[in-house]
Amino acid sequence: MNHPLVPQRPPTAGIEISNVLDGETVHQRFLLVNGRAGPRHGSFDQPIHVLCNDFPQTQWPCVNSYFKAMVHLVPGPNTITFLFQHGEKQTLHFHISYLPLLQNPPLSLVIFIGSDSPAKFDVPPQKKGQDTLSIAIEKFRTAGYMWQAFCAEQMHRHGFGRRTFRLEEAWLPDTISCQEKGVMRNTAKVHVIRSKHTVAEIRDVRRAQQSDDHDESFESLFDFFLDDLRHNPPFDKPCAVAGLILDSHWDTQKQLSLGHTALGGGAGHTALGIFGSHLLHAWPTSIEDIVPSFMDNTKTDTRYVANDANESGEWWRAINIGMGAMLHEVGHAYTLTHTPTGIMSRGYNNLNRTFVAKEPGFGPIPPEAENGSHWHRLDVLRLRFHPAFRLPQDGPKGVPIETSPSFVPLEGNQFQINAPAGLSILEMNVDGHYRTHLEFLQEHPKTLVLSMDEICSRCKCDKRQKISLEAMCVNQQQRTMEDVQGFIQSHAGVRLPGVPGHVIQSDVFGGDTPGATQSRSIFLKDGHLKQAVSITVHHGSFLDGFVIHWNDGTQDVVGKTGGGKSRFIVMPGEQIQGIILRCGAWIDGLQFKLSSGRLSPWYGGMGGSPTVVEAPEGYDTVGFFSTANDWTEQIDASPGQVGHVICPPLLSTKITLSSAGNTNRWIFYGTRKQIIDWIREHSNITLENALFAGGNSPTSHVHTELVIDLQQVYDQDQTYADYIKSYFVSIYDVERVKVEIRPRIESKDCFIPAVNRVIVASGTKLADIVEDLEIEWFKPAESYVQQTIHLFNDEDTPSHIISAKPPTSVQINAEPTKTSTAPSAAEMDLSTPH
């Protein structure tokens, strides 16, 4: 069990502070102070008064000498005065300096409301009229400062300094004190975004996380607000957001919270944690309201408001669940995972114990009695190296390294972790439960070799149990090995044709969907390394595949050969040493690393996470192994040639694409007219998003819609005159284009350039959209020069949304046909030691 660290208790009878040093410098507006005052062995409950610079006096309960207080600070030096009287009057003057860290990326507080929302939230009859947007802003602002103070205290207890996130602040009428509402101060800014979605859409029972009718095929509330953020500056840039759904509502008939989801994580450039407002009525509206709110044991009346998880049956408990569970989701946005104890478990039920020295029916609550209200050691280790939690003494950031860690098997029942950015944590789990971890605080190894025996010894288990590892780097990139013993057994001691002895095989990068086409390239012939002369890479926005050309006239195809192509010359004596990949559920792009130290250009897209794949020290690279999933449809109708269709599998009455594996696309090449004519000839075909293709569930940020992109393509058969002319006007009759149909994934879509984008619902027939497509595609087009200006201005692709209801069920009518493919995964074969 990982117990939280606690401050030392003051030994004397006067007012003493146990968790802060006099003269200390901190970096948050409100400092959480723990201390003692009065007789150490007495039994009493009296207030201690706190006087701060430029802020009204507040008071906090001191119970049997224990007290906790939220102390307001202004930038620069602060003198804090504590006043307490139990018998004789006691006074303490305490000095703190507040240095805001404006260079750190902030956490933004955002309230989402429906397009037709009255901007009110659920309140019980006792709080009639306290349901307005302005009160919601006050409560959310207070919660933000409480979260900030909690994080700083937890990081301090673990010896990492008072690290915490910075709140986005602005010069505004402040509400953080009920005694001085409206006084202008630099205070937390609460954004209000009116969604493009209606209240009815937000409250649809199929989107309610706690509903038995919850439908994964529906666009989630998380998706809604990611989309809303992207269209509301400044959130179209990298950001961290705590999102409150104001239109959550307790449905008394269904006994269900509608418009609520508790979810957090990263999606593209956005880190987002969201939660509903169904418990907001209980949250404190100001610093002075913290103690009364946490001591309010009014029973929750489910005729009016929710009793979430049956754990918020009193109003003070509703704060713990609402504010604490939302902090849990913000933790996910900051890369935290579920832990055995603490806030990232269900420890938020004790959140009140961090801020008040008593609770209804129990007290005093010294720091060691806060129970679940803490960050687990794994949490603080992750936050220690997060850019939002940096301290000035950390020194220069240096050149950022984006590369993810990777696992490589070795001989002798061992494996190696490669971490170019440096390891920070190696978490070990047995049968799905946390067992122990290694932490690297001073030195961050770039390689680490471990044996199966050492892992079992540290985990106190045997090899028959399933051990999983999660490697985390200082750059927040991570990778999981699901089964250590299985990985070693399946990747070490592999035999390859033409390669003497055994080889080891790297981890798989990208997706690994069953039934995919396999290909490989072996670099050895008759025991000697072959000499490559060039590599032809097939790519567009993603990687299709590549062909290695050898000096004996042979060639190896890895993946498939669709899309555009580029050629890279390999010089005599150079060998392919490794590859640098960007990948997620598929391979976005790659770069070749040669033995001379030379790197090829980058081919493909820049989505996904970067990973370096190369042989460990003492080994040579002897080949690549690849799997490729079904691409789709391709029309190759160059001028003067007969267009032909290469049909994919499952082509009967549906075009089925997967947004779970993220590997399926349909690609068309031809003129606009040729593609429109083909669509008309196949107008009975339905476009469908198969959510569970390959047995994988969709992630929280995957849409059920489909994107139809019209994209430019280089036409090598175009005349020089037409080529020059195309820079100023579009020649639709001869201009070849590329049309791509794929699942809608905004984190990917925003990086894919298109002349025109149409979004349709799953279940749409081609017959229903062909007229709209023709209108969209044949609109007078801007010249390439104009399009280039838009590109440099980072303007979005114009989109046209065609509404259509999705099918009620997914049914595939399959008949085998020929297919073309694109790679979704790549492995690397590594030889025995040289």
Write out the DSSP string of 298-349. Answer: PBP-TTTS--GGG--SBHHHHHIIIIIHHHHHHHHHTT----SSSTTTTGGG
- Answer whether 507's CB lies under 8 Å from 408's CB: yes
Task: Using the Cα atoms of residue 552, residue 554, residue 557 and residue 558 in order, give the sign of their dihedral.
Answer: negative
Q: Classify residue 780 by burial, with Cβ atoms within 10 Å: 0-12, 13-18, 19+.
A: exposed
118's CB contacts (< 8 A; 6+ apart) are none
Give, as one character, the DSSP assignment of residue 190.
E
User: What is the H or E stretch that residue 439 is in?
Assistant: strand 433-439
Confirm if 344 and 338 have CB atoms less than 8 A apart.
yes
SS3 225: helix
For residue 640, which amino acid is it? G
CA distance 504 to 507: 10
Neighbours of 252 (CB within 10 A): 12
Residue 312 CA to residue 568 CA, distance in Å, equals 63
In the three-class reduction of DSSP (H, G, I as helix; E, B as strand; rest coil), residue 51 is classed as strand
Q: Which of 219, 288, 329, 827 is catalytic?
A: 329
810 sits in which H/E element: none
Nearest Cα to Cα of residue 519 among 816, 817, 818, 824: 824
Is residue 759 within 8 A of residue 744, CB to CB? The reply is yes
776 flagged as catalytic: no
Alpha helices, DSSP H only, in 611-745? Answer: 672-681, 720-725
CA distance 60 to 508: 56
Q: How many Å apart are CA 544 and CA 714, to the nearest integer?
A: 17
Q: Is 713 helix (H, G, I), strand (E, B) or coil?
A: coil
> DSSP assignment of 538-583, as one string?
EESSSEEEEEEEETTS-EEEEE---SEEEEEEPPTT--EEEEEEEE
- Length, in residues, of the chain: 834
Give the largest Cα separation in the chain, rounded.
102
**Which string of DSSP letters, residue by residue, matches 77-92?**
EEEEEEEEEESEEEEE
Contacts of 676 (CB under 8 A, 6+ apart): 770, 773, 774, 777
CB 132 within 8 A of CB 122: no
Distance, CA of 56 to CA of 290 (rounded, Å): 15
Q: Known catalytic residues?
A: 329
